[in-house]
Chain A
Amino acid sequence: MSGIADLGGTAGWGRVMAPTATAPVFARPWEGRAFALALVSMSRVSGRNRDAFRHALERLDRDDYFQDGYYGRWLIGAELMLVDSAILAPGAVEARTRRLHGEDVEEPLAPEPNKPDYAPTAAGSLRTVTRPSVFAVGQVVRATGTHLTGHTRLPAYLRGHLGVIELVQPAALLPDTHALFLGENPQHVYTVRFDSRELWGADAELFEVTAELYESYLEPVS
């Protein structure tokens, strides 16, 4: 899924925001509550995980993703995960919000929870992979043009492009399958370096971009 979250290289955003040295961590109290609610919802309450959370964010519509900023999408993404695990009924948050604003609306009954049948094999995302890594530092590789499931960490702007392996990183579970509870599928991870003109054409500024790509995102180039 490229989706709403895959912003690299997209146009039409205007100038970047000017950094401010003294901005508070949470600009308004609800942002802190939304942040903390999302953190506890992510695994403890919904039985899901960080990759499923990112997948939830990608499934938000444009307004839900952008209108209330980062913590707005965290809150609405958390709601979506809680509905996915049947902790909340669809419409439950809306109904309660309207009641809080004085409307006399009926609330849906809490459903029977249906959490994913998944227990992590270890804490965090790092995993041991016994098979040797397929690619070596300095090797030229191509980022694949496709992906397997409804979630991926391969940005659209890198797909199909040639890069060079810069570093071999610790192996980790594959977000593409982990997000959808299709298995941890641990893989070697590589920092791959791309030339700006390979990505953006001959008129681009001269620079390099690196990204951490999972082994199944890469193809050898002969």
Chain B
Amino acid sequence: MNETTPAERLPIEGRTEALEQLLTERGLVDPAVLDGFIQTYETSVGPMNGAKVIAKAWTDPEYRERLLADGTAAIAELGFAGPGGEHIVVVENTPTRHNVIVCTLCSCYPWPVLGLPPSWYKDPAYRARVVREPRAVLAEMGLQLPTDTEIVVRDSTSEVRWLVLPQRPPNTENLSEPELAHLVTRDSMIGVAILTSL
């Protein structure tokens, strides 16, 4: 990589502080509003929301049907909506068909149910490669799919957002909905992992 030396490049921390100062001193930005955004995405909007959706779908067949028919509305039933969630489509992963989500053009992601995207999702290697060699990419991430499992890569190019309904792990029949929600991982709802038995 032909990188600029640090001496020529403005340090990003200082640059961030400078922009905040410039906008704040002219009354264009209220730092308390910034604090609020940060706190929201650090504490109340994250994959724990999606996990509740998935656990409910596993335990309530009618909810599952509604979720697959109209993801946005079914997700809103649990109180999850907002930026990055105007229209959410939920797809089911099965032993024979496996969906995996990406945004090659930026890093579109279903914020209301998964929060802000993890580092690897925003990294160029994932964005570039998963639409070209998903099996190899998933293997690098620790997921070896059977050779006869069909793979569908969902490139999020519009404001439509995708959420994967992962397979319920075996031997979880006796677990309650909240217990099941604890088993659901962020990565299983993006489609780069499957949930194994306890």
Residues of A within 8 A of B (CB): 5-11, 13-21, 23-28, 30, 32-37, 39-41, 45, 54, 57, 63, 66-70, 72, 75-76, 78-79, 82, 87-88, 92-94, 96-101, 110, 124-126, 153-155, 157, 167, 169-170, 172, 175, 189, 191, 193, 199-200, 204-205, 207-214
Q: List the B side residues contacting A21 at CB < 8 Å.
A: 185-186
In the complex, identify which listed stretch (B13-21, B53-61, B166-174, B176-184) lies at the interface while the others stay far away: B13-21
Whether the pair A88, B160 counts as a contact (CB closer than 8 A) is no
Whether the pair A189, B158 counts as a contact (CB closer than 8 A) is yes
Q: Other than the known A79-B19, A157-B132, A208-B152, what 14 A-B pairs have Cβ atoms closer than 8 Å?
A: A8-B131, A9-B131, A10-B128, A13-B123, A13-B124, A16-B140, A17-B120, A19-B192, A23-B119, A30-B13, A63-B9, A101-B11, A169-B89, A169-B158
Whether the pair B86, A97 counts as a contact (CB closer than 8 A) is no
Chain B interface residue bracket vs A: 35 or more
Query: Which of A16, A36, A99, A208 has the most CB atoms of chain B within a 10 A radius of its CB?
Result: A16
**Chain B proximity of A31: nearest CB distance (Å):** 8
Residues of B within 8 A of A (CB): 3-4, 9-23, 26, 28-29, 33-35, 37-38, 41-42, 46, 86-87, 89, 104-107, 115-120, 122-137, 140-142, 150-160, 185-187, 192-193
Between A and B, 22 residue pairs with Cβ closer than 8 Å are A5-B105, A8-B127, A8-B128, A8-B131, A13-B125, A16-B120, A17-B123, A18-B142, A25-B115, A41-B23, A63-B9, A69-B119, A79-B15, A96-B19, A98-B10, A100-B18, A100-B21, A199-B131, A207-B135, A207-B151, A207-B153, A209-B152
